[in-house]
Structure 1
């Protein structure tokens, strides 16, 4: 009788474990990643314009995030950036013909961190504009801010 009971308990345990594996590891993924209570994804859009940049200046603009289901999370000026969880722009980015960059999340993200630092050299100034939109609402808007040598501008934002 003990042997039958042990076999019955063993089979029940095996059935429960197997069922749990099939339910939790099924292929019916909806592509939205795990649902974590209290963390809601946000659509993000950052626009940065910097004028009067030369190769003597120091320019750093970095946006970083992560996603639950992909490493391709950003578009820059409408073009997807495959397998890049961070976007980095420097003086070469702004010294050519392109002065404005629009960085957008492809899908809602749990959070993002953004940092920028601008240091003009050689007794001149640079002018920048920065706008952050979260879920379509403007949360930061700095327009035509001039930074003149020997001053610099440094900022960090979390969204």
Structure 2
């Protein structure tokens, strides 16, 4: 059980560090000009089933701008409900052991860049099945359906999205 807590802490720290690197790595000379079409709208769908209290399931989404135009404004809708000005949302095991197994995240407005992080560890028991899809400006950029994580295995992915 301590390994599960350590993995969750490590994933959370990874998410925070990744967001910090993305934000810190952006300089002012890269800011889009007003009316610039170099931003992206994101729709990310994640599903997990078969997880139990001995497993670790973490999905994280983030969106940000090179400037501060996102602050104090809605960033994400989760299953149709605005989540306030959270630029990142982390779902854990508890989000997938109840009746809701699928979450749809949509940016409220376009952003300069975003990401999807996935960490699923099947520590004991039956298989966990996950699916995830990222649509960027209406086009599928990442898609994995019915990925089965067997007992003792894990699935780790980190995707970043920016205008093309």
Task: Tell me the equivalent position of 1:40.
Answer: 38
Alpha-carbon distance, 1:121 to partner? 2.0
What TM-score, normalized by structure 2, do the two folds share? Answer: 0.72
- Indicate conservation of the 8 Å contact 2:133/2:143, yes or no: yes
Task: Tell me the equivalent position of 1:7.
Answer: none
Q: Which runs of 5+ in 2 are unaligned?
A: 1-30
Cα distance in 2 for partners of 1:135, 1:34 equals 17
Please list the CA deviations of residues 100-151 of structure 1 after superposition, one character each: whole Å capped at 9, or x if unmatched: 0001111011001221100012232100011110010111111111000111
- Indicate conservation of the 8 Å contact 1:39/1:110, yes or no: no
Alpha-carbon distance, 1:34 to partner? 6.0
Moved over 6 A (4+): 36-39
Listed as ranges, the matches of 1:98-137 within 5 Å are 98-137=100-139
Task: Tell me the equivalent position of 1:69.
Answer: 69
What TM-score, normalized by structure 1, do the two folds share? Answer: 0.74
- Bigger radius of gyration: 1
Task: Tell me the equivalent position of 2:93.
Answer: 91
Q: What count of residue pairs does the alignment treat as equivalent?
A: 127
Cα distance in 2 for partners of 1:106, 1:83 equals 10
Give RMSD over aligned pairs: 2.0
Q: Which runs of 5+ in 1 are unaligned?
A: 1-32
